[in-house]
Each structure stands twice: as structure tokens, then as C-alpha cells.
């Protein structure tokens, strides 16, 4: 069966965008990349405990979607949440400190990587439970509607999460009530060790949107322009009160499911090939340089700043104190 | 006897029971291709095929519901919950369907099914991947609940659970999977509903189960050095509780301490303490003491998780307090 979902955002030329937006895309993507590479290294060296799921290779999704959002818009993230938090404007130092389990972390060291959150910028939390975010994002959108704002909420989710009942319940409720929520699927082809098509009934998750009476759009999730354009029309629609939508971003999980995953279910060769061909960052670089929208030098400057910001975040995390034991009993009730 | 890991003991139980009864099958996330995230299903799909060892969508509601349905239609399913925490997703299927069907429909059909639930603290996995939730299920009539502490019981209880005609929740502590122990050869069964006195003693009864048993063994050793002779009981089954074994022990020792990793408030210890208070308060020479986790979600940061844990030292201290 062919896709009923619309295709969005192809063949967009970078030259039609202002420098500021382009620089923003690049800053977000490179910051996420450096942040994640740093986290990976620190985890492997034993500095970071717990479970860590990396966003490497999927940066264009967070960067493209979030460029359409304001601080007052909400997002609900997943276990793979660092990229969403960074793109939404979460403080890098407090994020890194949280991942290190320090008292200066955004959750005071109580959450860690799987529970990264920064409510001050509308980042309502990563979630350790797959599919935990759909209904919460729907509720945040309901609040926007009840409060009479034109704000929206975005629920990020994986292809695997689309098989949770919560996806279907939230999609129906959002559509029935015309709520301003955009369900953004990051279809990275894998749900943990399982290839997505072996446990999922459709080729395109966006096809499921039709069953709930909302638009479903498929974009190349490794093309930040395609993601940006796809999300833009759906966010604008939601702001106008025209209800929810589903955006499916086709991407690929470059790293193991979690740091330390032996990855016995696929070959290194397969992964290397996909990464070489589709890595969103070099794709963006060559597109903007070719269109003379940004110069190599400008890109290098942004990349250098991102690297430095991550270095400072790491230093902050490393030098921050661990929580006092007494903090265990703090913050259970207000 | 052979010395094998806890994970291998559960795998042996699955293999033997699937070979013995072709109605037995298993479904869950990442179990066929991957062999389970803790290696506890390794090779099972090679042996029995993906028709009986099934990788599912991330759909815990449908996993448990479909297992119940298949049981009604003559199968004997085993469902893997990945992490015990995710039972939250399918709580209706567990609470209102799996536990109720036999009684509510007047005994027309029982649900011979096992829910395997890896639980407990490991590697600072934080609030949604570390919980011990057995007390919820102790509160639900119609369910059986077991929680082995060593490879031999892991095998024997899983085999008994698969053969039981009632729904059984099988809690397996994630930190136990790699631990080794001796397992009897052959068709080794451990009866559900029977506690095990693992150390005879005369001064105080110490009751525990699952991972915390290991801490209790250490605590008993420390206390022996101080001249306190601990009788140590491994519950093994949380529901139905083996009340007889505990009352018999307390009648001799006159003191009772209960230790578990789960939150102390409303935990298994609370039920045990109430039973002993009701049935045997006259035997007691000291207040009953419970050791459990504080009343907070599991925190992430190292010092907080450390403070949260029930340790041999905390257990030994609790025992000293009743002497
Ligand atoms: C309810 C629930 N079931 C299972 C898991 C274990 N788990 C964590 S991530 C994951 C795979 C998620 O796949 P997907 O939604 O596609 O996101 P991706 O990891 O590919 O970003 C699984 C099975 C979980 N955390 N929560």
C-alpha cells in the first residue's frame, strides 16, 4: 500500500532563509552533536552513571521543529531527550550537571539523563516510559486552548512508541477536541533491538493520522529544511485553531540504543554507510555553502562557539557538588 | 548439582517447560532476536522458533491482554514486562482482567499465565526503572506473586509458576541475573506458597526475599560475630504468604525483623507485621521492626541512591534494636 500521508518540504533552497535562522539551525545541530559526543565519552569512561540514549544523527529533527516554537510553547520528550532539550533552549550547564547527578542539575540530580527537563523553557521532560508523553502534551495543548493563547504543544516520539495505546488515545482526543498539539515521530528505523517494520503495521507512521482525522506529513528527517517547512505549516495551522497533526521525520539511529549497547542486531557497515550518506550536519554545511548563504568561516565560528559552550558545561558539571544525603527527603510534596 | 547464573536458571526453566508442554509460549520486547535485555532468553527462539518466542511491539497493554485471551483459549503464556515498572502501562489488564476472570466468571476458566517482571535497583537507573512493586500485587486477590533470591529458587519457582493454573507474577531482581549458585539437576520444582528457613537461629527471626536476602545473609554473619543468633527466612512467595513458617519461627525466637528493598510504607513488611501482631502478639518480647526504602521515588544521583538503599548494615542495626 502506498503512503496516504503527504510529503513535505522537499527541494527547499537555503538562500530563501535569513542568516539568523540558518545560523540557528547550525548552532543547534552542532551543539547537540558536541554535547552528545561529550556525554558518550564521559559515560564510557565511567563518569556518568545510569542509562544514556544518544541523539546523534537525528539533530535535524529537533533543530527544524524547534525553530518554529516559542519559549511559551511546550514540548514532551522521550528517553532520547538531550537534543530536544538543547533545541528548546535548556541551559547546557544545568543539563550536563543533571546527567552527572550533581546538585546543580536541572532536576537537582534526582532525574539524570532519562529525566532531563527544563520547565522554564517549556521542556516538560524526557520520559523513561516509552509513550508516556503523548497524553501529557495533549493536556498542555488543552491548557493553551482553555487559556485562550495561540500556543502549541509538541510530543516527540519514536516509531516504537507509536505502538503504545497512549498514542492512539491522545491522537483521538486531540483531534476530537481540536487541540493545538503536533505529534512529531522520529522514525529512526529501530526500537531498541527491533527493526521497526517487524512490529509496526504500516510503512509510514504518518498514515495513522488519517484514522484520527488529522493531517499526516512525511519529511526527510535528516534535512533540516524539510523538517522546518513540514513543522512550520502544521504549527501555524495549530496556532490558528485548526487542530492537531502528525509529522513523521524519517531518520536513522546512528548510535546504539543506549551507550554500551553491543548492537548485535545490525552491522557496523550498515550504520557507517547510512551515516556517511545522510549525516544531517555535513548535508546542511554543503547546502548553505553552495548556495552562498553562509560561508565556511561563519560555520566554523559557530561550531567553535558550540564546542566551547559544551566544554564549559562539562567543566561546570565536573566541578559541581553532589547532592547532600538530606536532599533525598526534600521535594516530595510542595 | 551445577553452578549457573540466575539468568541461566530462568532460561533452563523456560526451555524445560516449553519442551514439556507445547502450549507454553513467551512474548515480550527484544526477547527473540536479542535474547532479552538481561540475556535471560538467549537462544530460546533458535530452539523453539519465533512462533513460540515472540518479539512484540512496545504495547504492554496488548501483550498482557493477548496473553490473557490466549490463556482463555487453551494456551499457557509467559509475558515479559522488560522492566517491572512498565506494569503500570497494563495495570487494568493485570488488576481487572487477569486477576478477576476466574472468580468473577464463576470458575469457568482459569488463567494459567506468568508475568515476568525484572525489578529493583541497578546502575542508578532512577525513578522509572528501579522500583520494587510487589506490594501492589499482594493487595490483589486472585494473583500469586513470587520473588526468588537465588538461581535454584529462580528455576524451581519459574517452573512451578508455568505449571500453575493461576496467574503468577514472577519478580526477578535485575541485580540477581548475573549472580551464580548451585541448582539441582533434573526436574527441580519449588512449591509456590512455601517459605524457606535458610539459617536456623534462636534469638530473632529475620524475614526477607529477592535481592535483599543476600544483604540479610551478610547481616546475619555480622550479628553472629556479636553473639546474636539470627533465624533467616526467605519468603520466596509474596502471595499467598507462608504464615505458618513465620509464626512457628517467631514463637521460638520471640522477635521479628522484616527487610525488603521496596518502600517501607505499605510494603510486604507491613502485612507480615500485622499478621504476626494479630496472631502471635503474646509471643513477642520486642516490637516488630521493618527495614525498607524511604518514602520517596528512587533518586538518580549517587549519594542519594546510596542513601536510599537497604544495606546489610541497616538490617543489622534494626536487628540490634530489638535485642
Ligand atoms: C512502556 C515501556 N516499554 C518498554 C520500554 C523499554 N524501552 C526503552 S526505549 C525502547 C525503544 C523505543 O523505541 P522508539 O520509540 O522507536 O524510540 P528510539 O529509542 O528509537 O528513539 C524500549 C523498548 C520503556 N522504556 N517503556
- A178 touching B (Cβ < 8 Å): no
> Nearest-CA residue of chain A relative to B38?
A261
- A111 touching B (Cβ < 8 Å): yes
Question: Which of A50, A111, A191 lies closest to B123 in CB terms?
Answer: A50
Q: Does domain B2-183 have CATH number 3.40.50.970?
A: yes
Q: Which ranges constitute the DSSP H helices of A68-219?
A: 82-87, 92-99, 134-146, 165-176, 196-199
Calculate mean pLDDT across residues A13-35: 95
- For A239-279, the pLDDT digits (tens) are 999 999 999 999 999 999 999 999 999 999 999 999 999 99
Concatenate the DSSP letters of all residues of B33-62 into one string: SS--TTSTTTTHHHHH-TTTEEE--S-HHH
> Nearest-CA residue of chain B relative to A127?
B128
**Chain A residues with CB-CB distance to B297 below 8 A:** 110
Q: What residues of chain B, 243 to 272, have a C-beta less than 8 Å from chain A?
A: none
- DSSP helix/strand/coil, A13: coil
Q: Do A161 and B61 touch (CB under 8 A)?
A: no
Concatenate the DSSP letters of all residues of A216-247 into one string: EEEEETT-HHHHHHHHHHHHHHHHTT---EEE
Instruction: Tell me how far the alpha carbon of residue B246 lies from the centroid of ligand 1, in angstroms.
Output: 41
- For B198-223, the pLDDT digits (tens) are 999 999 999 999 999 999 999 999 99
Calculate mean pLDDT across residues A12-21: 89
**Chain A residues with CB-CB distance to B127 below 8 A:** 110-111, 115, 128
Domains B2-183 and B196-322 share a fold: yes
Question: Which of B58, B299, B301 lies closest to A130 in CB terms?
Answer: B58
> Nearest-CA residue of chain A relative to B36?
A193
Helices A296-319 and A92-99, axial angle in degrees (round to 10): 50
**Chain B residues with CB-CB distance to A109 below 8 A:** 299-301, 304
Q: State residue A3's pLDDT score.
A: 43
Please give the domain boundaries of chain A with CATH numbers for all domains. 4-320 (3.40.50.970)
Question: Which of A128, A160, A322 lies closest to B301 in CB terms?
Answer: A322
- A125 touching B (Cβ < 8 Å): no
Question: Are residues A256 and A263 in contact, defined by beta-carbon separation less than 8 angstroms?
Answer: yes
- A256 touching B (Cβ < 8 Å): no
Counting one residue from chain A and one from chain B, the pairs whose CB atoms sit within 8 A come to 123
The dihedrals phi and psi of B39, each to the nearest 5 degrees, come to 75, 10
Rounded to the nearest 5 percent, the helix, strand and coil shares of chain A are 50, 10, 40
End-to-end CA distance of chain B: 38
Q: Do A110 and B61 touch (CB under 8 A)?
A: no
Is B173 catalytic? The answer is no
**Cell numbers for B4:** 549457573
Q: Where are the domains of chain B?
A: 2-183, 196-322
DSSP H or E run through A20: helix A19-44
Q: How many CA atoms lie within 13 A of B240 on its CB side?
A: 10
- For A55-92, the pLDDT digits (tens) are 999 999 999 999 999 999 999 999 999 999 999 999 99
- B294 touching A (Cβ < 8 Å): yes
Q: What is the dihedral of CA B229, B234, B239, B243, to 10 degrees?
A: -30
Binding pocket residue ranges, ligand 1, CB within 6 Å: A 78-80, 128-131, 158-161, 186, 188, 190-192, 253, 257; B 29, 58, 60, 82, 86, 89
Query: In 3D, which of A115, A102, A36, A113 has the Cα closest to residue A317?
Result: A102
Calculate mean pLDDT across residues A285-290: 96
Domain at B196-322, CATH class: alpha beta
Annotated catalytic residue, options B129, B173, B215, B260: B129
* Cα-based distances in Å from A328 to A71, A271, B62, B85, B130: 31, 42, 36, 21, 15
Q: State residue A15's pLDDT score.
A: 86
- DSSP helix/strand/coil, A22: helix
CA distance B117 to B31: 13
Bridge partners, B291 (sequence order): B259
Tell me whether strands B237-239 and B144-146 are parallel, antiparallel or unpaired.
antiparallel
Q: What is the ipTM of this complex?
A: 0.93
| Distance from the A72 Cα atom to the nearest Cα atom in chain B, whole angstroms | 27
**Cell numbers for B53:** 518466542
Query: In 3D, which of B306, B275, B305 has the Cα closest to residue B290?
Result: B275
Atom of ligand 1 nearest to the CA of B89: 1
**A57, A78, A191, A263: which to mutate for ligand 1, most atoms within 8 A of CB?**
A191
Non-local CB neighbours of A264 within 8 Å, separated by 6+ positions: A193, B34
Question: Are residues A191 and A266 in contact, defined by beta-carbon separation less than 8 angstroms?
Answer: no
Atom of ligand 1 nearest to the CA of A80: 21
Query: In 3D, which of B26, B137, B146, B132 has the Cα closest to residue B85?
Result: B132
Confidence category of residue A17, pLDDT binned at 50, 70, 90: very high
Confidence category of residue A100, pLDDT binned at 50, 70, 90: very high
**Chain B residues with CB-CB distance to A102 below 8 A:** 301
Concatenate the DSSP letters of all residues of B185-226 into one string: SSS----TT--EEEE--SSEEEEE-TTHHHHHHHHHHHHHHT
| Distance from the A136 Cα atom to the nearest Cα atom in chain B, whole angstroms | 15
Confidence category of residue A218, pLDDT binned at 50, 70, 90: very high
Concatenate the DSSP letters of all residues of A273-314 into one string: HHHHHH-HHHHHHHHHHHTTSS-HHHHHHHHHHHHHHHHHHH
Instruction: Tell me how far the alpha carbon of residue A103 lies from the centroid of ligand 1, in angstroms.
Output: 28
Confidence category of residue A9, pLDDT binned at 50, 70, 90: low
> Considering chain A, what is the average pLDDT of its residues?
96
pLDDT at A11 over 80: no
- B12 touching A (Cβ < 8 Å): no
Q: Which ranges constitute the DSSP H helices of chain B?
A: 6-20, 44-48, 60-72, 91-92, 101-104, 134-138, 151-163, 212-225, 243-253, 268-280, 302-308, 312-322
The stretches in chain B having pLDDT less than 50 are none
Q: State residue A13's pLDDT score.
A: 79
Q: Which of A190, A205, A327 to mutate to test the interface with B (most CBs of B within 10 A)?
A: A327
Bridge partners, A153 (sequence order): A74, A181
Amino acid at each position: 500500500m502506498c503512503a496516504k500521508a503527504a510529503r513535505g518540504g522537499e527541494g527547499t533552497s537555503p538562500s530563501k532563509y535569513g542568516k539568523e535562522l540558518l545560523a540557528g539551525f547550525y548552532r543547534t545541530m552542532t551543539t547537540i552533536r558536541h554535547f552528545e559526543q561529550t556525554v558518550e565519552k564521559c559515560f564510557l569512561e565511567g563518569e556518568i552513571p545510569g542509562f544514556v540514549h544518544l541523539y546523534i544523527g537525528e539533530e535535524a529533527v529537533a533543530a527544524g521543529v524547534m525553530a518554529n516554537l516559542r519559549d511559551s510553547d511546550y514540548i514532551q520528550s522521550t528517553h532520547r531527550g538531550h537534543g530536544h532539550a538543547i533545541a528548546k533552549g535548556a541551559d547546557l550547564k544545568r543539563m550536563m550537571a543533571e546527567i552527572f547527578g550533581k546538585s546543580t542539575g536541572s532536576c537537582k540530580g534526582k532525574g539524570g539523563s532519562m529525566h532531563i527537563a527544563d520547565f522554564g523553557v517549556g521542556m516538560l521532560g524526557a520520559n523513561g516510559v516509552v509513550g508516556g508523553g503523548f497524553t501529557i502534551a495533549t493536556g498542555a495543548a488543552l491548557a493553551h486552548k482553555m487559556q485562550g493563547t495561540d500556543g502549541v504543544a509538541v510530543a516527540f516520539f519514536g516509531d516504537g512508541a507509536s505502538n503504545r495505546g497512549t498514542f492512539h488515545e491522545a491522537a483521538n482526543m486531540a483531534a476530537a477536541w481540536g487541540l493545538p498539539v503536533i505529534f512529531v515521530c522520529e522514525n529512526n528505523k529501530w526500537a531498541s533491538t527491533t527493526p521497526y517494520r517487524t512490529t509496526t503495521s504500516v510503512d509510514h507512521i504518518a498514515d495513522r493520522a488519517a484514522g484520527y482525522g488529522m493531517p499526516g506529513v512525511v519529511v526527510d528527517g535528516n534535512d533540516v529544511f524539510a523538517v522546518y517547512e513540514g513543522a512550520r505549516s502544521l504549527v501555524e495551522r495549530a496556532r490558528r485553531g485548526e487542530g492537531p497533526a502528525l509529522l513523521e521525520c524519517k531518520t536513522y539511529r546512528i548510535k546504539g540504543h543506549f551507550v554500551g549497547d553491543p548492537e548485535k542486531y545490525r552491522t557496523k557497515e550498515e550504520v557507517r554507510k547510512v551515516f556517511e550518506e545522510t549525516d544531517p550536519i555535513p548535508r546542511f554545511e554543503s547546502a548553505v555553502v553552495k548556495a552562498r548563504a553562509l560561508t565556511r568561516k561563519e560555520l566554523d565560528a559557530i561550531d567553535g562557539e558550540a564546542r566551547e559552550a559544551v566544554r564549559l558545561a562539562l567543566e561546570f558539571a565536573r566541578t559541581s557538588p553532589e547532592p547532600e544525603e538530606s536532599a533525598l527527603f526534600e521535594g516530595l510534596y510542595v | 548439582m551445577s553452578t549457573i547464573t540466575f539468568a541461566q536458571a530462568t532460561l533452563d526453566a523456560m526451555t524445560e517447560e516449553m519442551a514439556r508442554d507445547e502450549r507454553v509460549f513467551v512474548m515480550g520486547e527484544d526477547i527473540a532476536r536479542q535474547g532479552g535485555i538481561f540475556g535471560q532468553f538467549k537462544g530460546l527462539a533458535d530452539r523453539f522458533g519465533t512462533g513460540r518466542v515472540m518479539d512484540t511491539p512496545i504495547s504492554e497493554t496488548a501483550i498482557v491482554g493477548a496473553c490473557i485471551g490466549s490463556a482463555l483459549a487453551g494456551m499457557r503464556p509467559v509475558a515479559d514486562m522488560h522492566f517491572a515498572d512498565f506494569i503500570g502501562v497494563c495495570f487494568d489488564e493485570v488488576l481487572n482482567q487477569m486477576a478477576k476472570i476466574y472468580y468473577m466468571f464463576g470458575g469457568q476458566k482459569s488463567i494459567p499465565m506468568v508475568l515476568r517482571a525484572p525489578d529493583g535497583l541497578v546502575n542508578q537507573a532512577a525513578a522509572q526503572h528501579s522500583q520494587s512493586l510487589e506490594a501492589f500485587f499482594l493487595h490483589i486477590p486472585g494473583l500469586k506473586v513470587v520473588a526468588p533470591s537465588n538461581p535454584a529458587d529462580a528455576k524451581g519457582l519459574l517452573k512451578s509458576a508455568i505449571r500453575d493454573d493461576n496467574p503468577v507474577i514472577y519478580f526477578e531482581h535485575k541485580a540477581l541475573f548475573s549472580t551464580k549458585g548451585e541448582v539441582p539437576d533434573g526436574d527441580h520444582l519449588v512449591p509456590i506458597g512455601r517459605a524457606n528457613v535458610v539459617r536456623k537461629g534462636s534469638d530473632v527471626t529475620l524475614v526477607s526475599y529477592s535481592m535483599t536476602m543476600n544483604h540479610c545473609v551478610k547481616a546475619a554473619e555480622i550479628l553472629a560475630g556479636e553473639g546474636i543468633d539470627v533465624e533467616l527466612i526467605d519468603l520466596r512467595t509474596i502471595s499467598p504468604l507462608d504464615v505458618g513458617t513465620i509464626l512457628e519461627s517467631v514463637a521460638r525466637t520471640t522477635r521479628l525483623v522484616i527487610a525488603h528493598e521496596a518502600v517501607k510504607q505499605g510494603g510486604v513488611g507491613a502485612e507480615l507485621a500485622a499478621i504476626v501482631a494479630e496472631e502471635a502478639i503474646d509471643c513477642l518480647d520486642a516490637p516488630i521492626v521493618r527495614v525498607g526504602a524511604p518514602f520517596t521515588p528512587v533518586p538518580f544521583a549517587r549519594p542519594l541512591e546510596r542513601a536510599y538503599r537497604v544495606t546489610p548494615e541497616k538490617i543489622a542495626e534494626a536487628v540490634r534494636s530489638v535485642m
